[in-house]
Amino acid sequence: MAEPLVFLVEDDVAVRKGCEQALSLADIAVRGFTNGEAMLVALAAAHPALVVSDVRLPGKDGLEVLREVRRFDRELPVLLMTGHGDVAMAVEAMREGAHDFIEKPFPSERLIAAVRSGLEKRALIVENRLLKERIAGQGEGGAGRIVGQSPAMQRLRQLVGTLAPTGVDILINGETGSGKEVVARAIHEASGRRGAFVAINCGALPETVFESELFGHEAGAFTGAGKRRIGRIEHAGGGTLFLDEIESMPLNLQVKLLRVLQERSVERLGSNSAIPVDCRLVAASKADLKALSDAGQFRADLYYRLNVVSLDLPPLRQRREDIALLMAQFLHEAAERFKRPVATWTPADLARWSAHDWPGNVRELKNVAERWALGMPDALGTAATPAATAISLAEQVDRAERSIIEAALRQCAGNVARTAECLQTPKKTLYDKLTRHGIVADSYRSE
C-alpha cells in the first residue's frame, strides 16, 4: 500500500520549503503547491490523504480551497495555516468542515502533530469505507452471512458454499457465542431448500416436553394433549432442522433421533404411523462429542452418524483480524435499530478490542457494539485498571499484532510464506515481526 500523501499549499517559498522539509524528515510524503488552483488540478490524479493550505493565497483563498476540496471528497481532511489576523476566517472554515487549523508562526513539531492527526482521521475513514465494501460484497444471505476475512472464515465460507447444496447432515463445533446458528442459517439459505429453518436449543427445553416438541403428538397421547401437535422435525420438512447444544439432548431421545436420521421418518407420540420427512439436519455442539461418547454421556452411534461432515468454528480470539469487520457490521446494524448515527472508533479503541480475549466470542462483541452505538463505555474493564498496571497503547497494539500473527500461523500450519500472503505483508517484514515477538513458526507445524 502506498504511503499517504500530503498536499501543501503555501505561496511563501521559504515557509513552504520549511514545511516540506519538516514533514519529509518526519517520514511524511508531501507535495507542495504555490496556489490552490494548481493543487485542485492535481487532486483527482494523486488522491492525497490530507490537504494543508494557507488561508491567505493568491487567487482562491483557503476557504475557497476548502469548499472545492469538500465538493471533490467531503471526507478528505483539510488543515489550514493562519496568520494572527486570520483566526476568525479559520473558525468559519472549521464550521464548514475543516479538520483543524494552526496559527503562524508554529514550530515544526506542531505542524507534524496536526498533520499526523489528519492522516489518522483519513486512515479511519478509508478503513470504514473498506469495511462497508467488504460487508456489502459478502452479501446478505447464504455464505455471505459468515463475516470475516481471516483464513479460517474464508475457508468456512468456501465449505458452506460447497456443502450446502448437497443435503448432507452437518455438525458444527464451536464455543458459546461463536456464531454457530449464523453458520447454520447460511447453510440453509445456500442449500436452495424451500422449507423452513427450524431451530431448537436442546439445552433450553425441559426434558418433560422435549419429546413432544421434537416428534409431535396425537390428541390424547398424554394428559393435557387435547389436540394433535406437529413436531419440529415434521415442521422442518423440505427445510433445515437446527439442533443447537445437541450435547444436552437426553440420552433416551438420542436413540429416537438416530432412528429418524436413518429412516427419514418420524412417529408422533401416541401414533403407530411413520410419517416420511425430508429435512436436513444441522447440529451444533460447544462440547467435544467424541469425549462425551467415550465417557458414556453421549451415544456413540449418534455421534458417528452426525460426524460425517463437521465444521469447526474458531473462537474470536483466534481470528482477531475479523474484529474490525464484525464491529463495523454490528455498529451499522445498531445504528439502524436505535435510529442513531453510525458510531466511530479510534485506533486506540481497536487496539483495546484486539487485545481482549472475548470469552463470550462474537455475541460479546455484538453487545459491546450496541453499547458503543448508544454512546456508552465498552465495559471491557480497561477504565478500572490501576495506573501502575495499566497497559499502554503500544503494548496493546503489540499484543494484538502478536495474536493476529499467531492465528495466521496456526491457520497456515506454520508456513511463513503462506502466512505472509494471508496477512498481505512482505515475507521479510513478517520475519522481522516474528523475531521481535519471539514467535517460532515451526512450533505451529504440528498443530
Q: Where are the domains of the chain?
A: 5-135, 144-312, 316-382+389-444
User: Residues 369-383, buried b or exposed e (16+ Cβ, 10 A)?
Assistant: bbbbbeeeebebeee
What letter would DSSP give residue 105? S
Three-state DSSP state, 379: coil
C-alpha cell at 80: 489550514
> Cell numbers 512450533 label which residue?
443
C-alpha cell at 334: 445498531
What is the C-alpha to C-alpha distance for residues 102 and 92, in angstroms, rounded to an integer? 14
What is the enclosing helix (H) or strand (E) of 51?
strand 50-54
- Residue among 200, 180, 179 at smallest CA distance from 170: 180
Write down the pLDDT at residue 382. Answer: 45
- CATH number of the 5-135 domain: 3.40.50.2300
Write down the pLDDT at residue 447. Answer: 46
The number of beta carbons lying within 10 Å of the beta carbon of residue 109 is 10
Phi, psi of 229, deg, nearest 5: -130, 130
Helix 62-72 with 87-95: angle, nearest 10 deg = 20
pLDDT along the chain (447 residues), means of 10: 81 93 92 92 85 90 89 89 73 81 89 90 74 52 75 89 92 95 93 92 84 86 81 92 94 90 89 89 95 94 92 93 87 88 81 90 94 86 37 59 78 83 80 83 68
| Domain spanning 144-312, CATH class | alpha beta
What letter would DSSP give residue 269? B
Do 2 and 48 touch, CB atoms closer than 8 A?
no
C-alpha cell at 232: 419440529
Q: Do domains 5-135 and 144-312 have the same CATH topology?
A: yes
Q: Is the peptide bond before 105 cis (omega within 30 degrees of 0)?
A: yes
What is the C-alpha to C-alpha distance for residues 221 and 218, in angstroms, rounded to an integer? 5
Residue 53 half-sphere exposure, CB side, CA atoms within 13 Å?
30
What is the C-alpha to C-alpha distance for residues 106 and 122, in angstroms, rounded to an integer? 23
Using alpha carbons, list the distances in angstroms from residue 229 to 215, 217, 253, 302, 364: 9, 5, 18, 26, 36
Do 36 and 66 touch, CB atoms closer than 8 A?
no
- Residue among 98, 104, 122, 117 at smallest CA distance from 18: 104
- Residue among 185, 139, 372, 152 at smallest CA distance from 280: 185
| Beta pairing partners, 389 | none
What is the enclosing helix (H) or strand (E) of 170?
strand 170-173
Write down the pLDDT at residue 361. Answer: 95
Phi, psi of 332, deg, nearest 5: -65, -40
What is the enclosing helix (H) or strand (E) of 289?
helix 289-294
What is the enclosing helix (H) or strand (E) of 94?
helix 87-95
What is the C-alpha to C-alpha distance for residues 81 and 371, in angstroms, rounded to an integer? 38
Phi, psi of 81, deg, nearest 5: -105, 125
Write down the pLDDT at residue 386. Answer: 31
C-alpha cell at 261: 436420521
Q: What is the DSSP string of 191-217?
A: HT--S-EEEEETTTS-HHHHHHHHHEE
Write down the pLDDT at residue 206. Answer: 83
What is the C-alpha to C-alpha distance for residues 50 and 252, in angstroms, rounded to an integer? 68
Do 35 and 79 touch, CB atoms closer than 8 A?
no
Q: List the helix and strand counts (H, then E) for the chain.
A: 18, 14
